[in-house]
């Protein structure tokens, strides 16, 4: 169901943005972080943002992608509460089994992982959802190569970090 709804969202996002903006803007989220970072930086140092070539290309602001990034955790929270699966915990069970109960270690791991993901996404010119969903839906060969790379790197890393689950 989630995959089908994501596919419909992808189609809808292309159709709507093409009608509103005159050119297709594909589903992806890493640019949202850049736009919000630009807003925060502009509050601290407006002259830096005004003269930064990257922010001229990726204008700071709130758009539908920022709202999508905000909506995902809100929707997940609503679904977890509705399904009675929500429980507050600082350290997920699977992490605790492998690395212990330290909330500080979990926070450091989440921060480092998040930083690497967004850095890689900007370095690659887009995030996994942008390359994977949008690129593959257009049958772009580069997207298939990138997604194969996600799995080629992600599976061994997950096994290295977490090992195989014991039944």
Q: Which domain holds residue 69?
A: 29-88
pLDDT of residue 39: 94
Question: Is residue 166 in a domain?
Answer: no
pLDDT of residue 121: 79
pLDDT of residue 58: 85
Question: Is residue 43 in a domain?
Answer: yes
Measure the CA–CA gap between 78 and 86, rounded to whole angstroms. Answer: 9
Q: Report H helices in 45-102.
A: 46-51, 53-57, 64-82, 93-99
pLDDT of residue 54: 87
pTM over 0.85: no
Question: Is residue 62 in a domain?
Answer: yes
The DSSP output letter for 24 is -
Question: Is residue 137 in a domain?
Answer: no
What tens-digit pLDDT sequence spans the chain (167 residues)?
877 887 787 777 777 766 776 665 666 777 888 899 999 999 999 999 999 998 988 889 998 889 888 998 999 999 999 999 999 889 988 889 889 999 999 999 999 998 988 888 778 777 777 777 777 777 788 888 888 888 898 899 889 888 877 66
Question: Is residue 34 in a domain?
Answer: yes
Name the domain count of the chain: 1
Question: Is residue 154 in a domain?
Answer: no
Q: How buried is 31 (Cβ within 10 angstroms: 0-12 exposed, 13-18 middle, 19+ buried)?
A: buried
């Amino acid at each position: 169901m989630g995959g089908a709804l994501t596919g419909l969202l992808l189609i809808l996002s292309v159709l709507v943005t093409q009608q509103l903006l005159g050119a297709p803007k594909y589903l992806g989220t890493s640019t949202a972080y850049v736009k919000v970072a630009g807003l925060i930086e502009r509050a601290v140092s407006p002259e830096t943002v005004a003269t930064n070539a990257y922010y001229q290309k990726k204008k700071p602001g709130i758009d539908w992608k920022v709202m999508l990034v905000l909506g995902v955790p809100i929707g997940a929270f609503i679904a977890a509460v509705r399904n009675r699966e929500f429980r507050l915990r600082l350290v997920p069970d699977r992490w605790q089994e492998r690395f212990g109960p330290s909330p500080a270690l979990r926070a450091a791991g989440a921060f480092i992982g998040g930083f690497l993901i967004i850095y890689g996404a900007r370095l690659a010119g887009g995030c996994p959802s942008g390359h994977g969903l949008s690129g593959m839906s257009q049958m772009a060969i580069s997207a298939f190569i990138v997604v194969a790379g996600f799995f080629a790197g992600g599976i061994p890393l997950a096994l290295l970090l977490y090992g195989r689950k014991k039944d």
